[in-house]
Amino acid sequence: MSTDRQMKRGKTQSLYKYLPESWIDFSVRGKERKQYIAKVERWNSEKLVGINSKRLIRTVNQEVESFNKQGLYGNPLLPPTIGFGTELNENNCDVLTPKASDEERGIVASISPLTFYCPKCKKVYQFKSAEDYKRHHKCYSCGVELTQFRQIYFCQCGYATDKHPVECPTHGSKYIKWDGKYNFICTAQGCNRKINMTVTCPICGRKLGPKHALDPSQFFTYSLSLIDLIDEKLEDFINVKDYGKFIVLAHWLEKITKEELNKIIKEGITTDDDEFQKIFDEHYKMLLTALKDETQAKIAALIIAEKKCGNSYNKIVDEIKVQLINTMANVAKVSESILEYNMVKDLHDVSTLDDAIKVAKLLNTNANPECFWDIAHKFGIKSAQVCDKIPFIACSYGFTRVKSEYESGVQLHALKEEVRGKKNIYAIKTNTEGILLELDRRMIMEWLLKNNFVEKEFAPNLESEYELKLWFINNIKPDSVRKFTSIEETETPETFHVYRLIHSISHLLIKAAAEIGGLGKDSLSEYIFAGVPAILIYCQNSQGFSLGSLRNLFEAYFDKWIFRAAALAQKCVFDPICIERYKACTGCLFLNEVSCVHFNKDLDRSYIIGHVDKETKKKTIGFWEE
């Protein structure tokens, strides 16, 4: 056993559960296997290459800023975030991943707490190091193997310590024993002083009682997953170019072609007036010589100059701008989400629902492929496909203690620096498979209207795909969707209802996929494109299970999958309490935190199956209600 015991964990687990400053379970193999609690001291990392790190850092910075904004009226002495600096960028932040080699392990941890006691006589020992404990691991009096105290102290401001108050003001620590409950006792002759097992937080002054070191609240990891838009030109296009987000929307609203979008991303739009005049003059002279007609030459030169300088696109951008009522920050996030969606949809290795019908017929399973499309339409699925080699980045960038959500006094801490002056984002990249489902915008809008979630006068024309898409662009507010916090209905009702519906459908589909496809629920994750709206259910293949399972599910059992998801919504083992009071719980919709993008917030089974509130008699019409 070394002072810094080295550990090797799966990268996905490491990213969420084994970060520096967290306490973990810790096995030591030798003649006898021993179980300890340990603290992760540091990672041995290397830079993660082959990703769009610029976009990842920008996205993390936006998340940190979002957390900061929640603390505008909180405790001024305890700012909402600590350790991130004024802004994360490529100059002050590294994207790192744990090393994976036989010579050097990625994670280094050490035994903590170093407070032990004799299970026989209850004498307490505090060691300076793991090596010190190794030399003196038995009680001096009884010769019995010492037992580790598994309690630590941690505070919502982020402070944590493994040091216990085992000192008598008069006799020091020599005669300290544990009473087996909540006190240490000095057993020196004539003393018998009780020392309560509480400490004071040196940061915020709170009184802290001992808690088990593996209590989940000792470390809430702040993390996110991104579909990796690898092309750096694309990053500049969506983040630097002012017109980028509007051009993406122009393509989504079918005002420009995919080819035009790709060309603008690659070459940009020239909008300089001098450049426009220069191109016009050059072509006007040439065309005047050829056409011998001033009017025709001017018209032709104008068309060429507008095409080359992008003025025709400027008109489209101006038209779209007039129709936007969402904030530009939200518009930018929705357009970025649309780019992600399009990238996944346009991947090369794709099997559509039509392909699935053909495969299911060839396999001659007990599925009903001739009904696949009818089932999709019935359950509000506009299009469906299974995709391979979807580039994902999963990362962790900070942590809180005691509480996962912001409130006054709760601080989001940056991860421990490996290089002084360089902030850390720990990340892994994967290429995985997933099922992409675009939901029917018209059906969602009809459902919103039936439940009076949207007033008719503010609804789009249900016959116009353009207006339906524009409604989602204008009314879905990604800024209001925070991982650990529920969406405020009063603040953004449209986002509240739409996201709640999509998120609930996503969880049902994941649970059904796990059952039908023989996968563990924890091996599947979700990615929600609320502004599209669409859902991507994908495999966390870094956990080591066989890829191809989702493809087989999609192609062979699409109908059974959807029907099973609908059946899972009908009942919960905790009904009627669940459906009456909570609308979702561990018995029906909740998933492991690694699988859920929103920490099991904003889930509602009544949105799927319908429900009548016993007190108010208000009827909620379910999206999948018969």
Query: Is there a single domain that holds both residue 507 and residue 611?
Result: yes
**Taking the complete model, does pTM exceed 0.75, yes or no?**
yes
List phi, psi (to 5°) of 167: -130, 130
- Tell me how far apart the alpha carbons of residues 228 and 223 are, in angstroms, rounded to a whole number: 15
pLDDT value at 7 more than 90: no
Query: How many other β-carbons are positioned within 10 Å of the β-carbon of residue 169?
Result: 9
Q: What is the pLDDT of residues 236-289, one digit of tens each?
A: 888 888 889 999 999 999 999 999 999 888 888 766 667 778 888 889 888 888
Lowest mean pLDDT among 7-16, 528-537, 540-549: 540-549
Instruction: Say if 173 falls within a structural domain.
Output: yes
Within-domain flag for 608:
yes
3-class secondary structure, 118: coil
Do residues 457 and 508 share a domain?
yes
What is the C-alpha to C-alpha distance for residues 228 and 54, in angstroms, rounded to an integer?
11
**Mean pLDDT, to the nearest integer, of 591-600?**
89
Please say if the pLDDT value at position 364 is more than 70: yes
Domain assignment of residue 236, yes or no? no
Residue 228 lies in a domain: no
Average pLDDT over residues 315-328: 94
**Res. 5: pLDDT tops 70:** no
pLDDT at 74 over 70: no
| Contact (Cβ atoms closer than 8 angstroms) between residue 31 and residue 135 | no
| Listed residue (563, 562, 558) closest to 357, CA to CA | 558
The number of domains in the chain is 3
147, containing H or E segment:
strand 147-148
- Alpha carbons 350 and 119: distance in angstroms, whole number: 61
The mean pLDDT of 32-36, rounded to a whole number, is 79
Pick the most confident of 511-515, 517-521, 591-595.
511-515
Q: Is residue 254 part of a domain?
A: no
> What range does the domain containing 591 cover?
328-395+429-620
* Main-chain dihedrals φ then ψ at residue 22, nearest 5 degrees: -105, 155
pLDDT at 583: 96
Whether residues 210 and 61 share a domain: the answer is yes
Query: Are both 24 and 77 inside the same structural domain?
Result: yes
Strands 350-352 and 220-227: unpaired
What pLDDT, on a 0 to 100 scale, did the predictor assign at position 543? 46
Q: Are residues 390 and 464 in the same domain?
A: yes
pLDDT of 100 above 70: no
Of 445-449, 482-486, 520-524, 548-552, the poorest mean pLDDT is in 520-524
> In angstroms, rounded to a whole number, what is the distance separating the alpha carbons of residues 237 and 248?
10
pLDDT of 311 reads 67
pLDDT at residue 315, rounded to an integer:
85
For 571-583, the pLDDT digits (tens) are 999 999 999 999 9
303 and 334, same domain (yes or no): no
- Asked if residue 400 belongs to a domain, the reply is no
d(CA 280, CA 193): 94
Which runs of consecutive H residues, i.e. helices, occur in 271-406?
273-291, 294-309, 311-323, 328-345, 353-363, 372-378
- Span 431-441, pLDDT tens digits: 999 999 999 99
Q: Is the pLDDT of residue 383 over 80?
A: yes
268 CB neighbour count, 10 Å cutoff = 15
Out of 84-98, 220-234, 577-591, which region has the weakest mean confidence (pLDDT)? 220-234
Higher pLDDT, 88 or 518: 88
Domain match, 346 and 294 both: no
> Which pLDDT score, from 0 to 100, does residue 365 have?
76
Q: 402 lies in a domain?
A: no
Using alpha carbons only, what angle is made at residue 174 by residues 173 and 179, rounded to the nearest 5 degrees?
70
- Residue 545, pLDDT score: 46
Neighbour count for residue 86 (Cβ, 10 Å): 7
Q: What is the mean pLDDT of the chain?
A: 90
227's enclosing H/E stretch is strand 220-227
Residue 551: is its pLDDT beyond 60?
Answer: yes
Do β-strands 183-186 and 45-47 pair in parallel, antiparallel, or remain unpaired? unpaired
Quick one: average pLDDT of 389-412?
92
- The reply to whether 178 and 213 lie within a common domain is yes
267 near 309, Cβ under 8 Å? no
Output the pLDDT for position 338.
97
Q: Report which of residues 306 and 515 the model is more confident about.
A: 515
- Rounded to an integer, what distance in angstroms lies between the CA atom of residue 254 and that of residue 216? 48
Q: Is 278 found in the same domain as 136?
A: no
Task: Give the residue-averaged pLDDT of 394-409.
Answer: 92
Q: What percent of the chain has pLDDT over 90?
A: 69
What are 109-164's pLDDT values in tens digits? 999 999 999 999 999 999 999 999 989 899 999 999 999 999 999 999 999 999 99
Give the start-end residues of each E strand in 329-462.
350-352, 381-400, 412-414, 423-439
- Amino acid 95: pLDDT: 96
Q: What is the mean pLDDT of residues 315-334?
A: 94
Is residue 158 within 8 Å of residue 400, measured between CB atoms? Answer: yes
What does the pLDDT read at residue 310?
Answer: 65
Alpha-helix residue ranges (DSSP H) falling in 440-547: 441-450, 465-475, 493-517
198 shares a domain with 82? yes
Q: Which H/E stretch holds residue 353?
A: helix 353-363
* 199 shares its domain with 165: yes
Predicted confidence band at 8 (pLDDT cuts at 50, 70, 90)?
A: very low
Query: Average of pLDDT values for 331-346?
Result: 96
Q: Is the per-residue pLDDT at 43 higher than 60?
A: yes
The answer to whether residues 552 and 446 belong to one domain is yes
CA torsion sign for 70, 76, 80, 81 is positive
**Is the pLDDT confidence value at 232 over 70?**
yes
533 part of a folded domain: yes
